[in-house]
Structure 1
Amino acid sequence: MSNSATRVLESRVFAAPIATVWAQIRPAEFAFWKSAVAAAAIEGGAAGEVGSQRKLTFIDGAVQRYQIVELSDLAFFLTYELIESTPAVASSAAIHTIRLRKVTHDNSTLVEWESDYSSAGDETASVVEDSRCKKREALADLAKALGAK
């Protein structure tokens, strides 16, 4: 088996100010992701604290635990790492960053959701496709949470 690494990036522009979008992203509880996340809990620290953990229970029954590794209110980004998953995922490591950028032309917000995966074996293609689909779904849910039609 060979090891491989891959990066997945999805992005979307939202017709909302960056502070409004950041309020949805910063808690890292994914409350906006109604089509996939059933429950979220803060564990091992306080909200907004680097090193704190989030336990997400998905509608399909999967449970994942993430650790916040970087958070910037100045640069509007959140980085978190998958530390546990039931059932197990096909990657051996996954680090995700959600970054917001202000679009000055019309005060909208560009959201970029990037994930870096390491895996052993032939799972890379399925991991990439699954990640891409989930990000698109989550960004569509974020648009609904922000009041987009």
Structure 2
Amino acid sequence: MASRIPTSTSVTESAVIEAKFSAVWHLIKLENFSNFWSALKGSEFVKGASPDTDVVKWTFQDGTVLEVKQEEHSAIDHYITYSVISANPELTYSSVLSTVRLFPITSGKHEGHTFIQWSGSFSSDADAGVIEDAKYKRREALADLAKAAAKL
């Protein structure tokens, strides 16, 4: 009988983006993630979703397709929270809830830039491989965001 390796079921990655807060915040819309994240081939609203619900289809370069639902959005506190509601191929875990949160840096050597944090809370059936993959995908996406923001 194989035993699972105990692991945290959450991941948080962060970065300082050397761009103005307002420019970076403008990029953080689920339907626009493919404008900066090189792992995505496309991102678009799902037609036929409830008018009260924002559902976006993310198509990755490797052919994986996720439908993500915006669960929460705050233009005051500058964050979005989303969940994966469908995946092709199917995920190896039951659920994940992710939040992208931005903060303006108001003093110090990074004053005028943006601090960003991208977290994910996975269901308890997510294994260490899932958590590691999420960590590296977030790091790559944050690096891609920094490149995109530098062009603004």
Match of 1:110? 115
Match of 2:83? 81
Alignment of 1:53-132 (within 5 A): 53-105=55-107, 106-120=111-125, 123-132=126-135
Q: How far apart are the structure 2 equivalents of 1:73 and 1:27?
A: 14
Structure 1 vs Structure 2 CA RMSD: 2.1
Structure 1 residue 146: deviation in Å? 1.0
Q: How far apart are the structure 2 equivalents of 1:144 and 1:5?
A: 30
Q: Identify which of 134, 138, 142 aligns with 2:137.
A: 134
Where 1:29 maps in the other structure, the secondary structure is: helix
Match of 1:18? 21
In structure 1, what residue type is equivalent to 2:119? E
Where does the alignment leave 5 or more consecutive residues of structure 1 unmatched? none
Where 2:82 maps in the other structure, the secondary structure is: strand
Which structure would you say has the larger Rg?
Answer: 2
Q: How far apart are the structure 2 equivalents of 1:114 and 1:28?
A: 18
Q: How far apart are the structure 1 equivalents of 2:142 and 2:50?
A: 27
Larger relative strand fraction = 1
Q: Give the length in aligned residue pairs.
A: 142
CA contact (8 A) 1:55 1:65 kept: yes
Listed one character per residue, the Cα deviations across residues 54-93 of structure 1 (whole Å, up to 9, x for unaligned) are 0010000000000000001111100000000001112211
Structure 1 ranges of 4+ moved more than 3 A: none
What TM-score do the two structures reach when normalised by structure 1?
A: 0.87
CA contact (8 A) 1:29 1:56 kept: no
In structure 1, what residue type is equivalent to 2:45? I
Structure 1 residue 6: deviation in Å? 1.1
Listed one character per residue, the Cα deviations across residues 72-128 of structure 1 (whole Å, up to 9, x for unaligned) are 1111100000000001112211000000011101111100000000042xx420011
Where does the alignment leave 5 or more consecutive residues of structure 2 unmatched? none
